Chains A and B, each alone.
Chain A
Amino acid sequence: MTTKQKPELLAPAGNLEKLKFAIHYGADAVYIGGRQFGLRSKAGNFTFDEMREGVAFANKYGAKVYVATNIIAHNENLDGAHEYFKNLYEVGVSAVIAADPALIQSCREAAPDLEIHISTQASIANWKTAQFWKNEGIPRVVLAREVSVEEIREMKEKVDIEIEAFIHGAMCISYSGRCVLSNHMTSRDANRGGCAQSCRWKYDLFEDGIDDDIAVSEQADEKYTMSSQDLSMVEHLPDLIEAGVDSLKIEGRMKSIHYVATVVNVYRKIIDTYFEDPDHYQIDQAWIDEIWKAAQRSLSTAFYYNEPTDKDQLFGKPDRIPKYDFAGLVLDYDQQTQMATIQQRNSFGVGDEVEFFGPHFYHFKQTITELWNEQGEPIDRAKHAMMITKIKVDQPLKYYDMMRKQK
């Protein structure tokens, strides 16, 4: 038995297409960036028109759209904030995610009815801080990555506020927001979207007064580095649900459509399976296998159970992780002829073993035996980006289903 409400599954959406996939594959909400005040200056980011379209799409699914306005602003960045929040409200997004009180204040004044969530950049790691924001009228806080499952449970017991916690994706190895390595090493302001990920670089480490000229790292044949493995709670999700987390968040506005769809699909399946019958819930190896098809680094549970050790960091050569390409998007399927219309996203051809998958953890593998172009002429390979092809596929498919291929 569980006494908990089904938590929200929250996914990143770097652009409009990713938003549609994230929602179609089962996200209850997505977070996006606009053209201003967001930390992922290189993610696609949305114009107000694109946001409007995104919100309309989300509404059809009963999903929500949040906008990250999570920079730590300098004086000169504050111009236009009022206007920006007014526009966000008019566009119809459900909330903004902010860390800087200047922007929080600005949002309150410009759009008093727009919900504000406090970003992980504020490093909220204790229940008293959560209580502070509760008393400020804030409905939700995104926790620091440094809290444990037990600490979350205590926060939920003590404070009646929604908690959003990361369940999957890349992480800062520092307290987010408290690292300015990038500022110092590259003059790029990490807290305004310029992070150069200097923590993942290689360094020489020296001990003062001991062979000053020889780095410890040189003797050890392994440079000093501070690169975190990626977070994954795929094997432990019920622990976070039972601790009372209200929103389970996937990192990665810069990630691909294939990544977003795959990861969302797995966590949707896990949440739904758990709530169907919590007492008999069992982890399915297929879910873990599926997560690895989108993984880019080794995976860790970070701070959720124990303080991370060297085993939660990336040293030496990267672990070998099989990589998959998003080969094609299913546009249509004809039941009678079993012919699938597929838009090429990466090169594929006759003889390739591909895997089709879709929402609700729908999966099957097939070898491509015959392939046609849009004109119906047989071809060997689909080489051109976005070209339309036809493939005979034994099992039914739908629009938005995807075809992947191991690299």
Chain B
Amino acid sequence: MCSYKPELQATAEDFDEVKSLIKAGADAIVLGNQQFGNRVCGDFTLDQIKSATEWLHLEGKRIYIMVNAIFHNDHLKQLPDYLKTLETFGVDGIIAGDQAIFQLLEDLDLTLPLTWNPATLSTNYQTLNFWHQRGLKRATLSNELSLDAVIEIKQKVTFPIEIQVHGMTCIFQSKRKLIRNYYNHIKKEYHPNQTRFIKEDKKDDTHYPIFEDINGTHIMSNEDLVMIEYLDQILEAEIDGLLINGILKTRSYNEKMVSIYREAIDTYLNNPRNYQIKKSGWRQAIEDIQPEQRGMNTGFYFKEQIY
């Protein structure tokens, strides 16, 4: 019997969501504070992270903290204390994407396990092996990879690999306040809490969510990644972490997604044939609650790119 047990990860925006996602079947929760994390769903204070960690550990579940901002000198003033505190909480890991993290963990003599996630820059096994030699414990692969490339990387590295399987992916980050700049330019009042999206010119069916936070402007993918029907390939390759990114989605949607993927993963691991029989039903269940404006696709997993 193989010992492979993938970790189903989900993002949470507050403690209530942490609990509901665990109840729905998540193995691990991803959360963070916006000052140090990019595209964090909520904005957890250290006290809140502490409570979440304690609760999750009592449940036998794991917690990863997003510390994936692109750091500027100012970040470095508070980062050491922040990281030290996270270590005292005993969080299961931090997710980071700035190369400074390797130096920081070494300088501070911390053993916080590092999930290396530099967004678009995690694209080949030699790169990941380089960072592994410098201390990463796990790595999140870029979303713009084919599934074949993901599988090849998994085969060529010795540490756990994570990919996103559901939800929006980030396709652009600027340090500039681009929405605010635009509103200034057209002399329209800017309301920070308003949600927004952009469409490509003359492509009415496109829908790219766009938002600003203290780290700048972020644009998300046109369609939601939905890998529910291809989990067999992912699980057969023994990919270690499967992330459902719940950013800009409702609680009920995220909870439902976690429960569907939980069931699908468990079904496959128990009996792959049953997974094949049931997968179109899960797909339908997702489609039923998919927001009208949001298409579904498989990202770059089965798509060719030119350059």
Contacts and interface: CB of A to CB of B under 8 A. Distances in A.
Nearest to A152: B73
A193 B305 CA distance: 11
Interface stretch (A196-204, A331-339, A374-382): A196-204
B72 A202 contact: no
Given A151-B73, A193-B307, A222-B186, A179 B172 contact: yes
Interface string B138-151: 00000111000100
B306 to A, nearest CB: 6
A188 B307 contact: yes
B120 interface: yes
Contacts of A105: 126, 130
Interface in A176-195: 177-181, 183-185, 187-189, 191-194
Interface string A200-237: 01111111111000011100101111100000000000
A131 B102 CA distance: 10
B162 to A, nearest CB: 17
Given A125-B72, A187-B303, A174 B99 contact: no
Contacts of A319: none
B14 interface: no
A208 B197 contact: yes
Nearest to A313: B181
B299 to A, nearest CB: 9
A184 B203 CA distance: 14
Given A155-B73, A189-B306, A208 B195 contact: yes
A379 B160 CA distance: 74
Interface string B41-84: 00000000000000000000000000000111101100000000
B130 A104 contact: yes
Interface in B199-233: 199-201, 208, 210, 219, 221-222
B173 interface: yes
Contact of B175 (A100, A146, A315): A146
Contacts of B171: 179-181, 183-184
Given A132-B103, A183-B300, A207-B194, A188 B188 contact: no
A129 B195 contact: no
A203 B199 contact: yes
B72 A216 contact: no
Contacts of A207: 194-196
Interface string A378-394: 00000000000000000
A75 interface: yes
B184 interface: yes
Contacts of B99: 122, 124, 129, 132-133
A124 B201 CA distance: 33
Contacts of A147: 72
B110 interface: no
A303 B307 CA distance: 29
Contacts of B305: 183, 187-189, 192, 194
Given A102-B130, A179-B173, A307-B177, A184 B221 contact: yes
A202 B126 CA distance: 38
A49 interface: no
Given A129-B100, A208-B195, A226-B178, A73 B123 contact: yes
A131 B70 CA distance: 15
A102 B127 contact: yes
B268 interface: no
B100 A126 contact: yes
Given A135-B103, A207-B194, A129 B98 contact: yes
A248 interface: no
14 contacts: A74-B145, A100-B123, A102-B126, A128-B71, A128-B104, A129-B98, A192-B307, A194-B305, A194-B307, A204-B201, A208-B196, A216-B186, A309-B181, A310-B182
Q: Give 5 closest A-B pairs by Cβ, nearest first.
A: A194-B307, A102-B126, A128-B100, A220-B186, A101-B130
Interface of A: 41, 72-78, 99-102, 104-106, 122-129, 131-133, 135, 144, 146-147, 151, 154-155, 173-175, 177-181, 183-185, 187-189, 191-194, 199, 201-210, 215-217, 220, 222-226, 303, 307-310, 312-313, 315
